[in-house]
Amino acid sequence: MSLLSRLKEKDTEGDKKASDVQKGPKQQSPPKPEAEKKEPTPKKPIIKKPERSSDNEKDKQLKALLHKQILQEMKESDDIDVIVPKIEEMAIEIIKEDESFRGADRKKIVDELTNDLTGFGPINPLLLDDDVSEIMVNGPNRVYCERKGKLVLTDVKFRDNEHVMHVIEKIVAPLGRRVDESSPMVDARLPDGSRVNAIIPPLSLNGPTITIRKFSEDPFVIDDLVQFGTLTKEMAIFLDACVKARLNMFVSGGTGSGKTTTLNVLSNFIPSDERIVTIEDAAELQLGQDHVVSLESRPPNIEGKGAITIRDLVRNSLRMRPDRVVIGEVRGAEALDMLQAMNTGHDGSLATGHSNSPRDMISRLETMVLMAGVDLPVKAIREQIAGAIDVIIQQSRLKDGSRKITKITEVQGLEGDIIVLQDIFTYEQKGLDENGKVIGELMSTGVRPKFYERLENSGITISSEVFMTKEEWAG
Ligand SMILES: Nc1ncnc2c1ncn2[C@@H]1O[C@H](COP(=O)(O)OP(=O)(O)O)[C@@H](O)[C@H]1O
Ligand SMILES: [Mg+2]
């Protein structure tokens, strides 16, 4: 059986305490050719005496015994690839020698220990479950996940805080980072690209806390989003045309509303003969084109030095002869540089930002520009915004966990002091069905965008059906 399929087995580690068997390692275990066996002398008692006996007492004892042997083995060689294949063998040996272990769930125990050694312990099965998109560990006993858009409490449990800490260390150590009181918050990545944040006591009161946003090897494409009902086919045709016509587009929405996913889908509409520079805090975008340069910002080091911000990268990207600049999330001073770039020939740029509506996004952008420390009058800032951004795509996570593009809005320009916005597509929520699923309708408002000519001038024709309203469809 392959290691992967072993890891896929459900990890049912469910006990707060590891148990002790007080037997010590068996001296008759498989002979080691390399070195003399030493007694393990762990500083802290990793294995504790059981308080009461239970049905799976045998399992616990066997696991504890195996754990000790593994620790001992690791003193001689900490090469996991050498140790892991031996675990099963060790277990068989122990059971052979001690009748009382007959009937223990050997396979489960070996899998759990293998998970602890090679993977990320009890959360391994969640990491391998394709239906799970996010994993949240709030201390050892409350592990949540997002499964098909819904937040659920899982039955996964860690032994104790130390066990969670061990997993955090395992995640961050290969990146040369550490977690301890002097740096109690850390961002990291799993080898598969999943994003991890860990925060530990005393900052987190629930115990060590881990949040993982899983990397999808197989990112959503436009057809997936249409199938999920995030947008209609007509909206998809429209957005594709907007990207091809080099409009500047901004995806706006709350955390987890699917902004990055939509940005990824939009970016994949960019023709493959263009040079794309992507800028992100943590690289999440997965573009299908060949000619892509991905840039990632860098947090300051422990002395607070060496930070490279999104703004630094935006500025630098303009010297890289980009045809397109794609910015993962705009949240500060980089807004000014982005708008200036969009206004000075770098059209066709794409970005996301955090906000509740297109109008709100505009006012947030104003605030962000002010964060750049330039003394621009509000009117000038609005001119910049109105001149730069053509389309705002508003995205939401609805009550039932589904993601919707609730508005596609054109930024038409400045009238007096006001930026004029015109919705092209909207979502109308009608209520909930008996299963709690949101019912609603995505429709064109019937208004053709002012930039329609620009689309045509770029040689893009969109069927007039795309802009037909519900009434027109019905009639
Ligand atoms: N249209 C969608 N339908 C269903 N799930 C989605 C959709 N877009 C994103 N998701 C899922 O929602 C989670 C958050 O998506 P992400 O794009 O990272 O959001 P944001 O960038 O707004 O924080 C991911 O797990 C992703 O797989
Ligand atoms: Mg995002």
Q: What residue's CA is closest to ligand 1, atom 3?
A: 403
CA separation, residue 433 to residues 150, 298, 330, 438 (Å): 17, 46, 36, 6
- CATH topology for 222-474 is Rossmann fold (3.40.50)
Check: CB of residue 409 under 8 Å from CB of residue 423: yes
Q: Which of 374, 309, 307 is nearest to 339 (CA)?
A: 374
Quick one: pLDDT at residue 34? 44
Proximal ligand: closest to the CA of 219: 1
Report the C-alpha gap between 10 and 94 in whole angstroms: 24
The burial class, CB within 10 Å (0-12 / 13-18 / 19+), for 385 is buried
What's the gap in Å between 262 CA and the centre of ligand 1? 8
- Phi–psi pair at 424, nearest 5 degrees: -105, -40
What's the gap in Å between 168 CA and the centre of ligand 2? 23
Residue 323 confidence (pLDDT) above 50: yes
Check: CB of residue 304 under 8 Å from CB of residue 325: no
Proximal ligand: closest to the CA of 261: 1
CB-ligand 1 contact for 260 (6 Å cutoff): yes
Residue 440 confidence (pLDDT) above 50: yes
Q: What residue's CA is closest to ligand 1, atom 12?
A: 258
Nearest ligand 1 atom to the CA of 134 is 25
Report the C-alpha gap between 323 and 372 in whole angstroms: 25
Sheet of strand 150-153: strand arrangement: 150-153, 143-147, 132-138, 209-213, 195-199, 185-189
CB-ligand 1 contact for 403 (6 Å cutoff): yes
Q: Which of 270, 259, 192, 193 is nearest to 220 (CA)?
A: 259
What's the gap in Å between 256 CA and the centre of ligand 2? 7
Q: What percent of the chain has pLDDT over 90?
A: 56
DSSP string, 45-60: --S---SS--TTHHHH
Label residue 12 by pLDDT band (50, 70, 90). Answer: very low
CB-ligand 1 contact for 396 (6 Å cutoff): no
Q: pLDDT tens digits, residue range 358-385?
A: 999 999 999 999 999 888 999 999 999 9
Q: What residue's CA is closest to ligand 1, atom 11?
A: 258
CB-ligand 1 contact for 195 (6 Å cutoff): no
Pick from 261, 281, 394, 402 the residue to mutate for probing ligand 1's pocket: most ligand atoms within 8 Å of its CB: 261
What's the gap in Å between 235 CA and the centre of ligand 1? 18
Nearest ligand 1 atom to the CA of 264 is 17
Nearest ligand 1 atom to the CA of 259 is 22
Determine if the peptide bond prior to 202 is cis (ω within 30°): yes
Residue 425 confidence (pLDDT) above 70: yes
Residue 171 confidence (pLDDT) above 80: yes
Is 77 strand, coil or helix? coil
Check: CB of residue 144 under 8 Å from CB of residue 195: no
CB-ligand 1 contact for 133 (6 Å cutoff): yes
Least confident window among 131-135, 299-303, 383-387: 299-303
Domain 123-213: give its CATH code: 3.30.450.370
Q: pLDDT tens digits, residue range 33-85?
A: 444 444 444 333 333 333 333 447 888 888 888 888 887 887 777 677 788 88
47 C-beta neighbours (distance < 10 Å), count: 22
Residue 148 confidence (pLDDT) above 50: yes
Nearest ligand 1 atom to the CA of 133 is 25
Q: Which of 429, 266, 421 is nearest to 348 (CA)?
A: 266
Predicted TM-score of the model (pTM): 0.74
Residue 188 confidence (pLDDT) above 60: yes
Give the alpha-carbon dihedral of 368, 372, 377, 380, to 10 degrees: -70
Q: What percent of the chain has pLDDT over 70?
A: 88
Q: What residue's CA is closest to ligand 1, atom 17?
A: 258
CB-ligand 1 contact for 349 (6 Å cutoff): no
Q: What residue's CA is closest to ligand 1, atom 23?
A: 256
What's the gap in Å between 251 CA and the centre of ligand 1? 12
Report the C-alpha gap between 73 and 1 in whole angstroms: 23
CB-ligand 1 contact for 256 (6 Å cutoff): yes
Least confident window among 118-122, 159-163, 400-404: 118-122
CB-ligand 1 contact for 258 (6 Å cutoff): yes
Q: What residue's CA is closest to ligand 1, atom 24?
A: 133
CB-ligand 1 contact for 463 (6 Å cutoff): no
Q: Domain residue spans in the chain?
A: 3-117, 123-213, 222-474
The mean per-residue pLDDT over the stretch 189-194 comes to: 82
Quick one: pLDDT at residue 78? 67
The mean per-residue pLDDT over the stretch 124-152 comes to: 91
What's the gap in Å between 360 CA and the centre of ligand 2? 18
Residue 321 confidence (pLDDT) above 90: yes
CB-ligand 1 contact for 230 (6 Å cutoff): yes
Strand partners, 351: 250, 327
Proximal ligand: closest to the CA of 255: 1
